[in-house]
């Protein structure tokens, strides 16, 4: 199709369209690895755009030329083209395309061993990501404010309508708001994790490049930075998991015994390290989202093993069916949770121990509570008479399919 477009443009003798087709063909050849052909088309397009002082088009072609030259190991020419593109996009104040240029320059200079310049462009790239994240955040807040104002006006009008219609409108609005919030959480987590990965990567490169020249305190500072980036990335992942609890759960029959068996495999290393035992008795089959059940019980079981100072951590799962509800209890022989802290344990970011004592983000039990409440259930903590804690999970009998 692109070759046909170029043929038509040449018959029509339209210089701008010819240059555009050449640029597109150059990019297409770059994508399929035919770099020499890509150079021919891109240089033809560049000649026209430069001669006609078309700054944006010139900058875009130079960006593609920079990628192409680097792919065929003409690295100095690649850096020259990218820096020309950088200058043009700065003149145009085009921050979005500048971000791409900074990313390429950081990666390419790093591969060439120019770590100092690579770090500088990495800093610029990180700042550009922060700029776009701030814009997204501002836009999201503006949208939220506008939606709130709209909802308030609709509520004033809804007071004159039937009660059922009022509820229907409210639920519909809430679903739209939740969907937008989940989308925003996903975008935000991606934009936040990308600079974190780059920070970790270049801190590691910096550490390697300066190996043997750092004193003990400087080495400790580098380790603190890497550890902080790692913990912040885990926090972002946990926040995204929390946001996704209500997002389109897949309800299907779930055998809880098979869930516990899978968790035992997932936690195999921790179980062996701590010499732990996981025992389950007569667990039922229920209607639920299997992934959420894995999250729920792996959080509780994992905590029971991790927050445990006995020589042989023990986790016992039991099931009881009553007239109005079913209950699954998870008992451990760990360090326990004082009564005055049990409600706080389910709140987001509420850690009961310092990072030095036990690692974690303080989100795990908040996810558990949200999962159970989405199933119209309840979760609570009691003291285990033999030491440790008992987590009691109550669910409507309607979710239970069968018992063993």
Question: What is the pLDDT at residue 1?
Answer: 61
Q: What is the sign of the dihedral through the CA atoms of 350, 352, 356 and 361?
A: negative
Please report the sign of the dihedral spanned by the C-alpha atoms of residue 213, residue 215, residue 220, residue 225.
Answer: negative
Top pLDDT among 167 and 305 is at 305
Cα angle: 13, vertex 55, 8; to 5 degrees? 20
What are the structural domains of the chain?
2-93 (1.25.40.10), 123-243 (no CATH), 251-402 (3.30.565.10)
Q: Would you say residue 355 has pLDDT above 70?
A: no
Give CA separation, 135 vs 130, 140, 190, in Å.
9, 8, 15
Q: Looking at per-residue confidence, does 104 or 231 come out higher?
A: 104
- Show the beta-strand stretches assigned E in 160-302: 251-255, 277-281, 285-289
The candidate with the shortest Cα–Cα distance to 395, out of 279, 248, 282, 285, is 285
Distance CA 260, CA 334 (A): 19
User: 85-89, 239-243, 251-255 — which is least confidently predicted?
Assistant: 239-243
Least confident of 109-113, 222-226, 386-390: 222-226
- Are the CB atoms for 301 and 315 separated by under 8 Å? yes
Residue 19's SS3 state is: helix
Please say if the pLDDT value at position 358 is more than 50.
no
Task: State pLDDT tens for residues 49-103.
Answer: 888 888 888 888 888 888 888 888 888 888 888 888 888 888 888 888 888 888 8
> What integer pLDDT is reported at residue 180 of this predicted model?
61
For 357, 379, 385, the CA distances from 307, given in Å and listed in that order, are 9, 19, 17
The percent of residues above 90 in pLDDT, for the chain, comes to 14
Summarize the confidence of residues 104-128 as an average pLDDT.
86
pLDDT grade, residue 105 (50/70/90)?
A: confident
> Does the pLDDT value for residue 319 go beyond 90?
yes
The most distant pair of C-alpha atoms in the chain lies apart, rounded to whole Å, by: 89
* pTM, full prediction: 0.45
pLDDT on residue 253: 92
Contact 259, 290 (CB under 8 A): yes
Mean pLDDT over all residues of the chain?
A: 79
> Between these two residues, 90 and 246, which has the higher pLDDT value?
90
Confidence of residue 354 (pLDDT cuts 50, 70, 90): very low
Query: Chain-centre distance of CA 87, in angstroms?
Result: 33
CA dihedral 66, 67, 73, 79 (to 10 degrees): 30
Q: Is 36 exposed, middle or buried (0-12, 13-18, 19+ CB in 10 A)?
A: exposed
Instruction: Return the pLDDT at 47.
Output: 86
Band of pLDDT at residue 276, cut at 50, 70 and 90: very high
Distance CA 349, CA 50 (A): 55
Examine the pLDDT at 394 and tell me if it is beyond 70: yes
Residue 154 or residue 338, greater confidence = 338
pLDDT confidence bin for 189, thresholds 50/70/90: low
The predicted structure's pLDDT at residue 178: 64
Task: Give the whole-angstrom CA distance, residue 279 versus residue 125.
Answer: 50
> In the predicted model, is pLDDT for residue 395 greater than 90?
yes
């Amino acid at each position: 199709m692109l070759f046909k477009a170029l043929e038509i443009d040449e018959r029509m003798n339209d210089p701008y369209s010819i240059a555009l087709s050449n640029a597109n063909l150059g990019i297409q050849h770059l994508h399929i690895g035919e770099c020499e052909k890509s150079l021919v088309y891109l240089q033809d397009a560049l000649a026209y755009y430069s001669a006609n002082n078309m700054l944006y088009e010139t900058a875009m072609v130079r960006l593609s030329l920079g990628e192409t030259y680097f792919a065929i190991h003409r690295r100095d020419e690649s850096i020259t083209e990218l820096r020309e593109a950088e200058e043009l996009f700065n003149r145009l104040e085009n921050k979005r395309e500048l971000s791409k240029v900074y990313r390429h320059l950081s990666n390419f200079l790093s591969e060439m061993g120019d770590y100092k310049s690579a770090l500088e462009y990495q800093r610029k790239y990180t700042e550009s990501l922060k700029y776009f994240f701030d814009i997204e955040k501002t836009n999201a807040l503006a949208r939220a404010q506008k939606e709130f104002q709209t909802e308030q006006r609709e509520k004033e009008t809804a007071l004159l309508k039937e009660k059922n219609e009022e509820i229907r409108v409210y639920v519909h609005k809430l679903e739209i708001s939740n969907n937008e919030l989940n989308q925003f959480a996903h975008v935000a987590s991606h934009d936040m994790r990308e600079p974190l990965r780059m920070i970790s990567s270049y801190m590691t490169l910096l550490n390697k490049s300066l190996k043997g020249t750092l004193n003990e305190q400087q080495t400790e500072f580098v380790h603190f930075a890497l550890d902080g980036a790692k913990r912040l990335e885990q926090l972002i992942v946990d926040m995204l998991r929390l946001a996704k609890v209500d997002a389109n759960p897949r309800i299907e029959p779930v055998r809880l015994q098979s869930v516990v068996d899978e968790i035992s495999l997932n936690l195999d290393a921790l179980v062996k390290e701590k010499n732990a035992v996981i025992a389950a008795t007569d667990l039922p089959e229920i209607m639920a989202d299997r992934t959420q059940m894995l999250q729920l019980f792996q959080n509780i079981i994992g905590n029971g093993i991790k927050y445990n100072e006995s020589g042989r951590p023990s986790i016992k799962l039991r099931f009881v069916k009553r007239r109005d509800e079913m209950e699954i209890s998870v008992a451990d022989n760990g360090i326990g949770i004082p009564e005055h802290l049990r409600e706080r344990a389910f709140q987001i970011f509420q850690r009961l121990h310092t990072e030095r004592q036990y690692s974690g983000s303080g989100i795990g039990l908040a996810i558990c509570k949200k999962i159970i409440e989405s199933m119209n259930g309840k979760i609570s903590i009691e003291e285990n008479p033999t030491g440790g804690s008992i987590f009691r999970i109550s669910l409507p009998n309607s979710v239970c399919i069968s018992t063993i």
